[in-house]
Structure 1
């Protein structure tokens, strides 16, 4: 029986991962601040992962075969985890994001080699303790968190660069609801100029991939995305089809400067998943699940 710690992981693909680990016979422990209890059969540790003393005290003498860190957003959090888990885990899996490629703009899908975290400059003096700052610089926070783990690694680690996630009745983001509301009412959908396609993955598939990663031995960054980038128009078309007759004509509003709708991007946003394929994992195609993702999120039968 493996000992697996999941930091965060009480909602969305984290809870799916926890269920998969348990079904495989792993002893799973969830660590969070205590606001949400874990599912039955899962050990629970309560700590503020930003507070090194709190995290150390909560862990006690526990050690783990694998740690899956679902909520590492800043270099400070990574540095704390690096110190606390040295000598406590044989493998560390950090869920990162496609947003680490925010400074890239390539017509072709980007591979992991485009961004070597060992070359990223870490700036701990920035206000990473402020939630508004972390939200605004989400991609940079993840880039720097990866850099902390990559610099003189204290344990074998993987950073899973996750595409935009769709699907599930428990999607809490409200992004598809944004489109459904506008399609129903005929309100304009603001899109970037130019408006590029992006890389996506279904909520179940990213949970499956993370589960698979916990059972592998490779290290370093790995991209996680379904094949077949989607445009804003692709997503809107799926939403419109799900609504049936309950919609008005779709109207797009080009925006050169200013806020645009979710899933509208002024630059290329696709990831190459050749590394995952070479390691033995085959991702699905967005055609396989887009309709299902939209209908389950919108509660349409």
Structure 2
């Protein structure tokens, strides 16, 4: 296995940041939303169309509802009495649909009340505040939003200081991680969360996957989740991913304090739209689209590139770590 070396993909992503009109910040906390006044942020924009991430997420969800109903876009337009181009713009996210339009669209598709309420709440939000959602055991809207954004992205760049990035986790790692702190109990929604996390990785298996550049701190790789076998399989999985031409994986050794880069983040990029930075927190997660804030992540990406091993050295480092994990779990001491 001969992985690539260098960080051309990361550098290309850094150069693609250009200034555009400020957009909005969206914050997720599970489900149930409300705008919070007085909070403004800004990101470095890019692309050629003023289409916000919320409009594209809403469009993707509308299209899925229509396809599930078995209706074509043309048939739905005829049923409602709209031009077919309006359906196309709504589903592509090129226009932000009103709450009334979303209600008419979903009603004609026969959407369940739960889906209707959730997408109406999404349409109701404003683009000059942020969305607050409480966490529950069912699939959180934060993950739904992230999957929708990553599915359409042309490139992603991720930094993770404490855990293996979700898009690269093995099923064994995912299952053990979701049981962490729950005393091994599988709560309601456990399998839904497992499936959703694994579904994120389908973008890597597409015929034309996005460019994915990942920085992982050594602390995340040495933090044992689920035991030696789980960690061995996880690290070997990362090493094998290094051979894929559109994945760049770089390790930051423990000699570099992970805290100096702050919490983990993901920046997603499109050819035609502004990029979006996703930052996950304990109580809330943010989707950032405005220029000034995105400059912070551009600078962080530059610092990460300076301090990380190159891709070939990272591959060799991962293979060595996998051999360390290739041993039985220590037996508990007898009383």
Task: Determine which structure has the larger strand proportion and give its number.
Answer: 1
What is the TM-score with the length of structure 2 in the denominator? 0.26
Structure with the greater alpha carbon radius of gyration: 2
What is the TM-score with the length of structure 1 in the denominator? 0.28
Task: Determine which structure has the larger helix proportion and give its number.
Answer: 2
